[in-house]
């Protein structure tokens, strides 16, 4: 029996994946929510790093603002013009400044490669920016799964996910994904079939549930009697509806003392 290198590589990758994801059966699929979409970042050229450096970017902007109008060039040439300015300004810097920028550029690239390497492992992260990236990719990653379930089972499928606001006065964001529509002349998803009923009986109820996931120590409560719901729909393989809810979050009123603790006023 001959084992080709690709099989060995696949085996080691599988072993590593199952260990790092605690044997989650869908790990290889769901890690797409965290993996970077492109190749490893390349190091910026010295003048690109210069024009983005917080200590020097304003110099480039000042020269650009002073000289660009007189060029009469089309707007599409602005980036190339900025690069030319950065090259000239960098060449005019002292050796000490250029050496310092060289060291910083190398360190900047090292950190970028390190972050890319960590992201390739696609482990769950509690960092807000990483979770936002996963939220942005949710429909792209999950929609094919819903379509596959529908194709294999014939079921109508939909999924709802959401979270409460991070601070009082913030928005509840609820993502609804569908696969399958009605057999009407104009096919509609579950959310579209009875939009008012869906918002009132499904989305609002889910929002009430999300309210209960807010720690009570935050000192806020949601008054959902005046709930404003805005449904934004975008088309993908199925139907993706992002619902932004704006409930009124109010301070929790102080609790009244038990009746037995209330003393009668003297007559």
The answer on 239 and 159 residing in a single domain is: yes
Question: Do residues 111 and 189 share a domain?
Answer: no
Same domain (yes/no): 111, 133: no
* Residue 7, domain member (yes or no): no
Computed over every residue of the chain, the mean pLDDT equals 75
55 plus 141 within the same structural domain: no
Evaluate whether residue 238 is within a structural domain.
yes
Looking at per-residue pLDDT, the higher value among 204 and 58 belongs to: 58
Domains contained in the chain, number: 2
**Which of 88, 115, 142 is where one domain is finished?**
115
Given a cut of 70, is residue 212 above it in pLDDT? yes
Domain encompassing residue 82: 46-115
Residue 266 lies in a domain: no
Average pLDDT over residues 203-207: 84
pLDDT at res. 104: 95
Residue 18 inside a domain? The answer is: no
pLDDT digits (tens, 9 = 90+) for 43-56: 999 999 999 999 99
> What does DSSP assign to residue 198?
I
Does the pLDDT value for residue 223 go beyond 60? Answer: no
Burial label for 149, CB within 10 Å (0-12, 13-18, 19+), is middle
The answer to the question of residue 169 being in a domain is yes
Same-domain pairing of 84 and 136 = no
Question: In this structure, are 132 and 243 located in the same domain?
Answer: yes
Shared domain for 64 and 104, answered yes or no, is yes
Please tell me whether residues 98 and 139 are part of one structural domain. no
Q: Is the pLDDT of residue 27 over 90?
A: no
Tokens 């696609």 belong to: 122
Q: In what order do the strands lie in the sheet with 239-251?
A: 157-163, 172-179, 239-251, 220-235
Placement of tokens 């999924």 in the chain: 159
Q: Is residue 26 part of a domain?
A: no
One domain, residues 108 and 143: no
Asked whether residue 233 falls in the same domain as residue 184, the answer is yes
Q: Is 230 domain-assigned?
A: yes
3-state SS assignment for residue 236:
coil
Structure tokens at 6: 């690709």
Greatest mean pLDDT range, 2-11, 175-184, 196-205, 250-259: 175-184
Is residue 44 a contact partner of residue 108, using CB atoms and an 8 Å limit? yes
Tens digit of each residue's pLDDT (9 = 90 or more) over 125-155: 778 877 887 888 888 888 888 898 899 999 9
257 — pLDDT class (breaks 50, 70, 90): low
Kindly give, in sequence order, each residue whose CB lies less than 8 Å from that of residue 174, ignoring residues fewer than 6 positions away. Answer: 160, 161, 162, 203, 206, 207, 242, 243, 244, 245
**One domain, residues 111 and 220:** no
CA-CA distance, 3 to 65, in Å (whole number)? 63
For residues 217 and 169, give the distance between their C-alpha atoms in angstroms, rounded to a whole number.
16
240 — pLDDT class (breaks 50, 70, 90): very low
Q: What is the pLDDT of residues 85-140, one digit of tens each?
A: 999 999 999 999 999 999 999 999 999 888 888 777 667 777 887 788 788 888 88
DSSP per residue over 36-105, as a string?
Answer: -SS-PPPPPPHHHHHHHSTTTHHHHHHHHHHHHHHH---GGGHHHHHHHHHHHHHHHS-HHHHHHHHHHH
């Amino acid at each position: 029996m001959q084992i080709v290198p690709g099989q060995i590589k696949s085996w080691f990758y599988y072993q590593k994946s199952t260990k790092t994801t605690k044997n989650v059966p869908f790990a290889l699929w769901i890690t797409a929510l965290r993996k970077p979409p492109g190749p490893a970042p390349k190091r910026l050229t010295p003048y690109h790093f210069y024009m983005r450096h917080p200590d020097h970017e304003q110099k480039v902007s000042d020269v650009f603002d002073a000289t660009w109008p007189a060029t009469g060039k089309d707007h599409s040439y602005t980036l190339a013009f900025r690069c030319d300015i950065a090259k000239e300004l960098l060449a005019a810097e002292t050796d000490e400044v250029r050496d310092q920028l060289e060291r910083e550029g190398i360190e900047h690239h090292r950190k970028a490669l390190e972050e890319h390497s960590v992201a390739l492992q696609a482990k769950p992260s509690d960092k807000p920016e990483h979770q936002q990236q996963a939220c942005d990719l949710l429909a792209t990653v999950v929609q094919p799964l819903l379509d596959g379930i529908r194709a294999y089972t014939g079921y109508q499928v939909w999924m709802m996910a959401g979270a409460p606001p991070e601070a009082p006065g913030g928005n509840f964001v609820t993502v609804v994904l569908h696969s399958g529509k009605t057999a009407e002349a104009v096919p509609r998803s579950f959310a579209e079939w009875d939009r008012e009923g869906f918002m009132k009986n499904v989305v609002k109820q889910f929002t009430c549930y999300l309210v209960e996931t807010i720690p009570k120590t935050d000192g806020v409560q949601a008054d959902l009697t005046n709930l404003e719901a805005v449904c934004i729909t975008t088309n993908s393989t199925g139907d993706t509806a992002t619902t932004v809810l704006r409930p009124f979050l109010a301070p929790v009123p102080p609790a009244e003392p038990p009746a037995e603790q209330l003393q009668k006023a003297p007559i």
